[in-house]
Amino acid sequence: HAPALGIEHDEGVQVAGVLSDDERRAWNVLYRLGRADADELAHVLDWEEAAARRALDNLQRRRLVIAVDDSYVPVGTSWWTRH
C-alpha cells in the first residue's frame, strides 16, 4: 500500500495519502460516528457488511483505525466516544 496518515488540525483529523474510494468513505463516516462495527458502518454507507469489514480491516492494517473489542475507532478520536 501507498502511504496514508491522519493529519490533525483545528477542525479535527483528516486522512491524507493514497486510499481507495471505499477506504476514504469508510474512514470519513467512521470519524463522524466516532466508533462503529462493520454492521453499523455498512448500514450507514448502504454497503454489504463484508465490504465494510474489508475497508475497516484495510484501514486497520494501515494504522488509520484501531480495533476495540468488536468495533473500530479512527485515529484522533477517544475510544469511548460515540456520537
Q: Look up residue 77 and give its three cell numbers.
A: 478520536
Q: Is the pLDDT at 60 greater than 80, yes or no? A: yes
Q: What pLDDT sits at residue 39?
A: 97
SS3 37: coil
CB neighbourhood size of 44 (10 A):
16
Query: pTM of the full predicted structure?
Result: 0.81
Average confidence (pLDDT) over 54-60: 94
Q: What is d(CA 79, CA 20) in angstroms, rounded to the nearest whole number?
A: 25
Average confidence (pLDDT) over 50-67: 93
Q: What pLDDT sits at residue 76?
A: 74
- For the stretch 16-50, pLDDT in tens is 677 899 999 999 999 889 899 999 999 999 999 99
